[in-house]
Structure 1
Amino acid sequence: MGARRTGRLGAGWQGRLGVVLLAGWTVLAAQAVPAAAQEPAPANALRVCTPGDYPPYSVTDGAGAYRGVDIDLARGFADVLRRPLVFVPLTWAGLKTDFAALHCDIAVGGISDQPARRAFADFSIVYGTDGKTPITRRESGTDYATIEQINRPEVRVIANRGGTNEEFARKNFPAAQLTVWPENLTIFDEIEQGRADVFVTDAVEGRYRVRQHPDLQVLHPDKPFDSFAKVLLVRKDDPVLATALNAWLATQLATGAVDRLFEQWIGPTASAN
């Protein structure tokens, strides 16, 4: 399926890492949580912050219901911790300022490993990789397949505000006409309706979105413009939580559970919804 979910660690290393981390977490958790506690109180809820606008990682219906690869990972992790789960909305533009302010335990939603984000959060182990690739109308063919083709004064580029897509567009398409869109849920409609020519976003998202927008195409998703790691953010003051999350993710990677989640969303038998 191209660049998407192959982590930096091999399956053997993932398995061994999971065993080591799980052992360490068991000791730490035993020290931090009373042995008699069976059902955590609501005050002990795992606060999972997410923009909820980046399928297949995380998407919301607007009424507080979330679904996606990262959402399923968060639910599975909360189940392991035996803690109730609360999803907290935030924006990509506010990720830096709101992560601590909203008391996020973790943040999910297709988050890329960026050095600047280490200033306000710790990172989980890498659970996948992705890369930027163009989304255009099918009738455009390969007119916007390269950075050089896109970086022209007559080309209308669109990017969602505050995330790596906007950063990539500003860096690579200074000569193009750039529209910064306030969110990521309706941005594909702008291309489909001819109000923008191209949107450069994660290949995984492109693969998912073109199922919903048959007039659009994702160009060379197997050969994106770049490659970067996908991680979950963890609050800095909780090494027990970070150890537990890494142990659990390592196990999910080693058993192929993460790959199976992606296949449900963008595999050959996946539906548009």
Structure 2
Amino acid sequence: MKFIAILTLLFAPCVAFAQTSPSTLARVTQSGVLRVCTPGDYKPFSFQRAPGEFEGLDVDMMGSLAGTLNARPELVKTTWANLLPDFVAGKCDIAAGGISVSLERQKQAYFSAPYMVNGKTPITRCEDVAKYQTIAAIDQPNVRVIANPGGSNERFARAKLSHAQLTIHSDNLTIFDELTKGRADVFVTEAAEAIVQSKAHPELCAVNPDKPLQYAEMGYLLPNGDDVFRNFVDQWLHLSKANGDYAQLSAKWLGK
């Protein structure tokens, strides 16, 4: 009995700490600030117009989430390569901006419930659409594939298009100029971005965006182990879809 009592005394502080350790939910509510990591280079989800000025579907959604917590959103600029390291280091409370759900990211962080199915879709010059209908057609030695570094687009290109000529282009926003100017043939990205950028660049066309080359989901990155905050975010997202708020914002940024 004495042994059990000693163990109880030893572990009691740890249990108490685990029970009283504040959730992100409590911290955001108390501080009045929701810190959001975002690369800010991915239309229509998050785009940095100027220092400190962001716009996009996920920017508006984060504003909605912050509002439910009586907080203001604070956008923390990162890159795709540094997104997970910055998030794990505690630089933000949530990450958004067109983030693909992946098992690799799941190893170090939670994901919210997915808010969009958004699979990998090629974008190319309109006259070349017929050439690049499948992975096999793109994965050829004479095809110049371009990708942005550090995210799921680069991983897809390296895993599925290893026979093509791959160029890693550091600026996601100017990749589309590389295509229009004929310095690259294909960029494989998410369907939503391919559709939006084909509207912004009439020379470019999304290839079968309704039938992606690979299934993918979008979600928000959340602190690992924080079930309280994840449950709150999932419930907020559920209600946003149920009451039409998400549909309204989606129509604003995606046209659907």
Q: TM-score range by the shorter chain?
A: 0.7 to 0.9
Shift of 1:132: 0.6
Where does the alignment leave 5 or more consecutive residues of structure 1 unmatched? Answer: 1-27, 34-38, 269-273
Q: Which residue, out of 206, 225, 239, partners 2:227?
A: 239
1:44 CA displacement: 4.0
Secondary structure of the 1:243 match is helix
Q: Considering Cα pairs closer than 8 Å and 6+ residues apart, tell me whether 1 or 2 has the greater RCO.
A: 1
* Greater helix fraction, Structure 1 or Structure 2: 2
CA RMSD of aligned residues (A): 2.1
Mapping 1:82-121, distance limit 5 Å:
82-121=70-109
Matched, 1:67 2:55: yes
Q: In structure 2, what is the equivalent of residue 195 of structure 1?
A: 183
1:66, CA displacement in angstroms? 0.7
**Maintained 8 Å contact 1:156/1:177:** yes
- Report the Cα distance in structure 2 between the residues aligned to 1:256 and 1:44, rounded to whole angstroms: 26
Which whole-Å CA distance do the structure 2 matches of 1:132 and 1:114 have between them? 13
Cα distance, 1:134 vs structure 2: 0.8
Question: Which aligned segments of 4 or more residues in structure 1 are displaced greater than 4 angstroms?
Answer: none
CA displacement, residues 37-93 of structure 1 (integer Å, 9 cap, x when unaligned): xx967x441100000111111111132211111111100000110012210011111
Identity of aligned residues (%): 44
Matched, 1:130 2:118: yes
With the length of structure 2 as denominator, give the TM-score of the two structures.
0.85
1:13-92 → structure 2 map (5 Å cutoff):
32=26, 43-92=31-80
In structure 2, relative to structure 1, the CA distance for the partners of 1:211 and 1:32 (3 Å cut) is closer
Task: Note if contact 2:121-2:191 (Cα within 8 Å) is conserved in structure 1.
Answer: yes
Contact kept, 8 Å, 1:96 with 1:117, in 2: the verdict is yes
Q: How does the TM-score come out when normalised to structure 1?
A: 0.80
| Letter of the structure 1 residue corresponding to residue 48 of structure 2 | T
Q: CA deviation at 1:102?
A: 4.6
1:87 and 1:32, CA in 2 relative to 1: closer, same or farther beyond 3 A? closer
Q: Could you say which residue in structure 1 is the equivalent of 2:5?
A: none
* Cα distance between partner residues in 2 of 1:119 and 1:95: 14
Quote the offset at 1:32 in angstroms.
4.8
2:140 maps to 1:152: yes
- Which of the two has higher C-alpha Rg? 2
